[in-house]
A and B are shown apart, each in its own frame.
Chain A
Amino acid sequence: MSRSVILETKGLSKAFGGLVALDKVDLSIETGKIIAVIGPNGAGKTTLFNLVTGVYPMSGGEIYFQGALLNKVPPHKRASLGIVRTFQHVYLFGNMNVLENVMLGRHPRSSYGFLEAALRLPKARREEEAISLNAIKYLNLVGLGTYAEHDALSLPLGQQKLLAIARALATEPRLILLDEPGAGLNTLEKRQLSDLIRNIREMGVSVILVEHDMPLVMGIAEWVIVLDSGAKIAEGTAAQIQKDRKVIAAYLGEEVE
C-alpha cells in the first residue's frame, strides 16, 4: 500500500494584484508526520497556510484534504473537516479567560444554538459540561491547567502560544498548521514546544509548521519543504536540506547557475 497523504496541492497559486506570492506549488504531505515549511521572508509560507485554511481565495490550482477537493469549502467548515491553524500573531480572544478560549475550540464539536442557549435546555447544559471537561483536558495537555481563570492576554507570550495551540487542538484536528510557534520564545519554552509538537504527532495529528528557528526545525521535523519566492525549491529530510545548494543559495542570496 502506498503512503497515505493528508494534504495535497496541485499547481497551487496565489497572486495579490501583480505580486505572485505562490507560483504553481505541488505538495504532497504524508499523514502523521511533522513537516516543516521553511524559506526566507516573503517565500509564501504564511500564504500557503492562508490558502489551506481558506482565509484567501486561491488564484489557481487545487487543494485536496484526505483525498477530497477543498477549493470550494468555506473557511469555517474546514475546522470541522479537521484542519486547524495557529497564527503568527497568536490572536487569542482577549475579552475571555484562558479556559473560555479553549472552550471556543470545541465549537465545531458541539451543536447547540441560540434557542437551546436562551432557554438553557437540557441539550445546552449537557453539551456545556462536555465542552468544559474537554477544554480542561486540552488545557492540561499544554500544561496551562492552573491558569484556567486568568485573562488570556495576561499570560506571557510563551504561554499565549501554548494556549493558542490548546484552542486549536480542542477542535480535534487531523492536521494542525502552526505559524511560527517558536517566534519570541526563550530556550526553555522552545524545548517545551518541541515536546508538545511531538506529543501532538503521537496523538495521530499531522503537523505542518512554518518556522524560522532552524535548530527547532531540524530537531523535530521529519520532512522539510523549502519555499523561495513562491516556489518550492527543495524538500527532503533535515539532513538532506542542510546540504542542498539551492537552499543555501536562497538563504544566503547567492545565484545558482
Chain B
Amino acid sequence: MIARLKSNWSYLAIATLFAFLILAPFDWFLGQYTTLMIVIGIYTIVTVGLCLLMGYTGQVSLGQAAFFGMGAYISAILSTTYGFNPWLAMLIAAVITGAFAYTIGSPIFRLKGNYLAMATLGLGLIMWIVFKQLNQSFGEPDGISGIPYLSIGGFVFDSSFRRYFLVWAFCLVILLISQNIIRSRTGRALRAIHGSEAAAESIGINVGRFKVKILVLSAVYASLAGSLFAHHLRYIGAQPFDFLASVKLVVMAVIGGLASIWGAIFGAGTTHILSDELLLRFGDWDVVIYGLILVLVMIFMPEGLFVKLKEVFERLRLMYRKKGVEP
C-alpha cells in the first residue's frame, strides 16, 4: 500500500518534471534561460555517469572532465578539420573515448580509495594538457572554432530552442537507460561491489570487469555530452575540461545524491547555476567554495541534498495527510 502510494507520487514527480522540461524553453516561461538549461542538460549526462561510477559502484573519479573533453575535442576536430558528419564524429568520439576508458580501466582499478582518486586526478591533468596542444594543432591558440551544428536531414539545430530539445532528449534517454541498469542484475552487482568486494566476489561477481565496464559506460556518457557541448557552442577551448571542471562534476553528483539517478538533474542544475551566476564573483576562490560545499554535504547529508529535500517533502506530506485524516 505504502509502496504503491510512493510509486504514484514518483510518477507524479516525473510527470511534473517532463511538463516543466517541455514548457521551459518557451518565451512566456523560462525562454531567456534556454542556453543555461542546455548546458545543465549536458552536465546532467556527465553527472549520471559519475553517479553510476561513484555512487553505485563506489569508485572515485576526479578526472571525469577528461572523458567529457575527449568527446568535445574529437567531435570538434573530426567535424572541422576532417569534415566528418557531426553525428558520425559524435559516434567515433564515443567509441574512441570508451576504448580509451577500457584500456586504462584495468591498470587504474588496481588502485583503491585515495590512490584511485589521485590516478584519476592525474588522468584529468594529462588530458587537459593534451587538449591545449590540440588547440595549437587543429585550431587557434585558445580553442577550436567553426564547429558545425548537428542536423537531421534539412533540419538544423541552429537555434537554442531546437538544441534544447535535442540535448534533453539525449539526457532523458540516458537517465532512463541508467535507471534500468540500476534496477537490474547488473545494477545489483555494482551496488554489491560498493558494499563489499570480498562478498561480491564470493557470490561470483567479476569485480574487476564490472568496474571497467561501468567506467567505460560513464566515459561514453561524458563523451556524448562533450560532443553535444561542442556542437552547441561551436567553439571549444580547454578551460571547461580542466581540474576544476572535474571537481565541479563531483560536486554535481554529490549534491544530487551520489546514489540517485534523477538527483543528477538537480545536482547539475544547482551547481551550474551557482557557479555560473554566483561563484564567478569570488574569482579564484571558487575552488575553495566547491571544497566547502563538498565537505558540508558529505558531513551533513551524505545521501545528497536532493535526497534530503525529498525526505523533508515526504515528512511534510505525511504531516499534512495525518491532519487531513484526523481533524
Residues of A within 8 A of B (CB): 53-55, 74-80, 84-85, 87, 91-96, 100, 103-108, 110, 112-114, 116-120, 124, 127-128, 131, 149, 167-168, 170-171
Contact = CB atoms under 8 A, between A and B. Distances in A.
A76 B199 contact: no
A93 B190 CA distance: 11
Contact of B201 (A76, A105, A116, A131): A76
13 contacts: A85-B202, A95-B195, A95-B259, A96-B192, A96-B195, A104-B203, A104-B205, A105-B203, A107-B203, A108-B204, A112-B186, A119-B180, A149-B3
Given A87-B198, A87-B199, A117-B181, A76 B204 contact: yes
B203 A114 contact: no
Interface of B: 3, 177-178, 180-181, 184-189, 191-192, 194-196, 198-207, 213, 217, 259
Nearest to B197: A91
Contact of B185 (A79, A80, A127): A127
B204 A80 contact: yes
Contact of B188 (A77, A96, A114): A96
A80 B198 CA distance: 16
B181 A114 contact: yes
Contacts of A128: 184-185
Given A91-B196, A91-B198, A96-B195, A110 B203 contact: no
Lowest 3 A-B CB distances belong to which pairs? A79-B204, A108-B204, A117-B184
| Residue picked from A94, A110, A114, A127, most chain B C-beta under 10 Å | A114
Contacts of A103: 185, 188
Contacts of B177: 118-119
A93 B204 contact: no
Given A100-B188, A104-B188, A106-B185, 11 more contacts: A76-B205, A76-B206, A79-B202, A87-B199, A92-B195, A96-B191, A103-B185, A112-B184, A117-B185, A127-B185, A170-B203
A103 B203 CA distance: 11
Contacts of A171: 203-204
A107 B196 CA distance: 15
B183 to A, nearest CB: 8
Contact of A112 (B185, B191, B202, B203): B185
Contact of A84 (B186, B194, B203, B206): B203
Contacts of A108: 203-204
Contacts of A85: 202
A170 B195 CA distance: 18
A78 B202 CA distance: 8
B191 A75 contact: no
Contacts of B186: 112-114, 117
B204 A120 contact: no
Nearest to A149: B3
A95 B200 CA distance: 13
A168 B181 contact: no
Contacts of A79: 202-204
Contacts of A113: 185-186
A180 to B, nearest CB: 15
A84 B187 contact: no
Contact of A93 (B180, B191, B259): B191
Nearest to A78: B204
Contact of B194 (A91, A95, A104): A95
B267 to A, nearest CB: 19
B180 to A, nearest CB: 5
A22 B203 CA distance: 25
A150 B170 CA distance: 35
B211 to A, nearest CB: 12
A114 B217 contact: yes
A12 B239 CA distance: 57
A25 B196 CA distance: 29
B224 to A, nearest CB: 14
B195 A168 contact: no
B73 to A, nearest CB: 26
A108 B180 CA distance: 20
Contact of A77 (B187, B200, B204, B207): B204
Contacts of A78: 204
A99 B203 CA distance: 15
A167 B188 contact: no
B180 A167 contact: no
B184 A168 contact: no
A36 B132 CA distance: 64
A118 B261 CA distance: 14
Contacts of B203: 79, 84, 104-105, 107-108, 167-168, 170-171
A189 to B, nearest CB: 21
A31 B198 CA distance: 26
B177 to A, nearest CB: 4
Contacts of A94: 195
A80 B206 CA distance: 11
A84 B202 contact: yes
Nearest to B193: A93
A104 B200 CA distance: 8
A114 B213 contact: yes
Contacts of B181: 114, 117-118
| Residue picked from B3, B191, B195, most chain A C-beta under 10 Å | B195
